[in-house]
Amino acid sequence: MSVSADTVATDPSAELAALIGARICHDLVSPVGAIANGVELLSLTGGAAAGPELALVAESCASAEARLRFYRVAFGTREVTDGLPPTEAARLAESYLADTRLALDWQVEAALTRGEVQLGFLALMCAGAALPRGGAVRVRRVSGRWRVTAEAPRVAADMPLWARLSAPGTSGAITPGQVEFLLLGLRAAEAGRRPESRLGDRDLALTV
């Protein structure tokens, strides 16, 4: 499934989609967490219930819960203005990448609004999409903007997709796996910013 980028950029239902995404994440976090707790209780009983199968279920639940909490901020509505403690933002980002081949160095210590953190999370997702073999990612704040840099064995970037960051109204299809590029371009434009990127063979930099 894919959608036209120019349709989303001009459609006011984009905000409704953000609210729906946030609601889904909000409602799924609790049951996934409950499953994880149940698995932990089963493991404490020992016997046949304990084993690699149960450990796999526990790991999957932890990964799902981490992604849902991260997505709730990354894909939520920009109208949320309450602050997000720096330790919480760092924890969400680190948990999101915990089961990947990306090593995260989160260097942001300032308390920011959820809308501002959303830009950082989306930028992190865009960077990760270009690092299929993993790598080291650093996230900082420079002069009030997000600065995401990465070094990796190989950078595989979809150049037309990255070009849309600075031109979110560009025509073309966007797949669900690429939606962070479209949303980051839109949210940055709403904040009066224009993403800037530099892509090399083994390194990249994205400023929002």
Answer whether residue 13 shows pLDDT above 60.
no
pLDDT band at 2 (very low <50, low <70, confident <90, very high): very low
Distance CA 114, CA 112 (A): 6
What integer is the mean pLDDT of 130-141?
97
pLDDT at res. 77: 75
For 49-97, what is each residue's pLDDT tens digit?
566 767 777 777 788 888 888 998 998 876 556 788 999 999 999 999 9
Q: Does the predicted TM-score (pTM) go above 0.85?
A: no
Phi-psi region of 39 (alpha: psi -120 to 50; beta: other; left: phi over 0): alpha
Pair type for strands 145-151 and 135-142: antiparallel
pLDDT at res. 72: 87
First and final CA of the chain: distance in angstroms? 28
φ, ψ of residue 121 to 5 degrees: the values are -65, -40
Show Cβ contacts of residue 192 under 8 Å, excluding neighbours closer than 6 positions: none
Answer whether residue 22 shows pLDDT above 70.
no
